[in-house]
Amino acid sequence: MAGIIEVKDQGKVRIYDADNSNYVDIVVPSTVSSNRTITIPDASFTIPTTNTVYTHPNHSGEVTSTADGATVIADNIVDEANLKVSNSPTNGYMLTAQSGNTGGLTWAEAGGGKVLQIKYAFDTGTHTTTSTSYSTLETVAITPIKSSSVIKLIFSGRSYTAVTSREHYQRFYRDSTLLEQYAGQYTTNGQTAQREIFEYFDASHNTTSEITYSFQHRSGYSGAAMSFSPNGGSDGGIYLTAMEFDTWL
């Protein structure tokens, strides 16, 4: 047979299987917007007997998805490594908006003069020495956020001596480094009970490793009792505070 075989009015071309028990119909839609052509490839092939529908797999982990392909970022999962930032992070820096940089975000130093952290120690005990060798009154440990920061030390305590005209020495230490030394003269009837404040600015620690500051005292004369917080804490005790500043105020 030559030429074109026409099937009118949405008729079907039906082809049966080998035993004529089942068939395959070739049917066109009720309406076709333009003429179409089905071209059989120049190769052997088999038409599947069922339709295969792709199902999107579900994913778990940092990014999850459902069968329809929609993806969702899990809660509490986005970290520094997943952000589009123009530079590497530095401890104590803030994430700021910088137009033109990668992702529009940049790690940058905050404005100068801010307090980075505060550490303190508090003691309500009585500390008495009769020795001319230094003993430690209080210590406080701090790990600087910046090696170039300034750490302000403040010691506050009520002092007392039971003898007349005797010196009471105090000093600040950073680990094994002497920072500052003080001396006081006590003459009022051999007794002085007053709250004293000692301060020191350490601008040369140059580290981001933990350091320990200590406040020490000694008697000016062997056997002369020198004390801090003689009332067992009813006077407020003694304090040693370390405040880290971003830079000099």
The more confidently predicted of residues 2 and 80 is: 80
pLDDT at site 57: 75
- 246 pLDDT above the threshold of 70: yes
The percent of residues in the chain predicted with pLDDT above 90, rounded, is: 24
The closest of 123, 135, 138 to 214, measured between CA atoms, is 138
The whole-number pLDDT of residue 191 equals 59
Rounded to the nearest integer, the mean pLDDT of the chain is 82
Query: Is the pLDDT reported for residue 233 higher than 50?
Result: no
Identify whether the C-beta of residue 171 lies closer than 8 Å to the C-beta of residue 181. yes
- pLDDT recorded at residue 232: 46
Q: Are 123 and 111 in contact (CB under 8 A)?
A: no
Strands 23-26 and 13-16: antiparallel
Identify which has the larger pLDDT, 95 or 175: 175
Instruction: Answer yes or no: are the C-beta atoms of 130 and 226 closer than 8 Å.
Output: yes
Cα-Cα-Cα-Cα dihedral sign, residues 228, 233, 235, 238: positive
pLDDT at 113: 64
Q: What is the mean pLDDT of residues 170-181?
A: 95
A 10 A CB-CB count for 150 gives: 19
Tokens for 7, please give them. 């099937």
The pairing of beta strand 150-161 with beta strand 94-97: unpaired
pLDDT digits (tens, 9 = 90+) for 12-65: 888 888 898 888 888 888 888 888 888 888 888 777 777 667 777 777 777 787
- Give CA angle at 148 (143, 152), nearest 5°: 65
Closest to 80 (Cα-Cα) out of 54, 106, 57:
106
Distance CA 96, CA 114 (A): 17
Count of beta carbons in the 10 Å neighbourhood of residue 241: 19
pLDDT digits (tens, 9 = 90+) for 206-222: 999 999 999 999 988 88
Of 89-93, 127-131, 153-157, 216-220, the range with the lowest mean pLDDT is 89-93
Q: Does position 175 have pLDDT exceeding 90, yes or no?
A: yes
What's the predicted TM-score (pTM) here? 0.56
Region of poorest pLDDT, from 49-63, 90-104, 108-122, 152-166: 49-63
Q: How confident is the model at residue 224 (pLDDT cuts 50, 70, 90)?
A: confident
Residue 248: the pLDDT is 66
Average pLDDT over residues 83-112: 79
**At the top level of CATH, which class does the domain 115-245 belong to?**
mainly beta
